Amino acid sequence: MVECDFCGLPGARWLYVPQDRARVALMSNEGVVAPLLNDGRWRACDLCAQLVDTNDMAGLVARCLSTLRMLGAPVPDGGPDLEHVAMVVMANFATVLVGRPTKKTLQGRAT
């Protein structure tokens, strides 16, 4: 089963291909720039697809962080560390939400 690129859970059924592919990078406090790598194509499960379709970045980030915790990833409980993780996730997700992405089923049928 294909994993969702947003929440990491199995069951991705949708593919988003942005019209304009944004390039996102983060800068550390030391001034080191690190690009966030992705091929511009995002697979999504039904729940994440609904959040993408409604441009609900806050909901998408919250879902991602909660499923990361559920899967055992070390996600901070709060404070500046959680804000930092949320900003990284948001920056990466922004690459698909820029412009109107084309939505297709993973089998190739456009919607």
Give residue-wise pLDDT tens across range 14-47: 998 877 655 666 566 777 666 666 566 789 999 9
* Partners of 25 in beta bridges: 35
Whether 21 and 80 have beta carbons less than 8 Å apart is answered as no
Q: Give me the mean pLDDT over the 58-78 stretch.
A: 89
DSSP structural state of residue 6: T
Whether 2 and 106 have beta carbons less than 8 Å apart is answered as yes
Q: Is 76 left (phi over 0), alpha (psi -120 to 50) or beta?
A: beta
State pTM to two decimals. Answer: 0.76
Give me the residue spans of the domains in the chain.
Answer: 14-105
Residue with tokens 């899967």: 71
Q: Is the pLDDT of residue 109 over 50?
A: no
Q: Is the dihedral of CA 83, 86, 92, 98 positive or negative?
A: negative
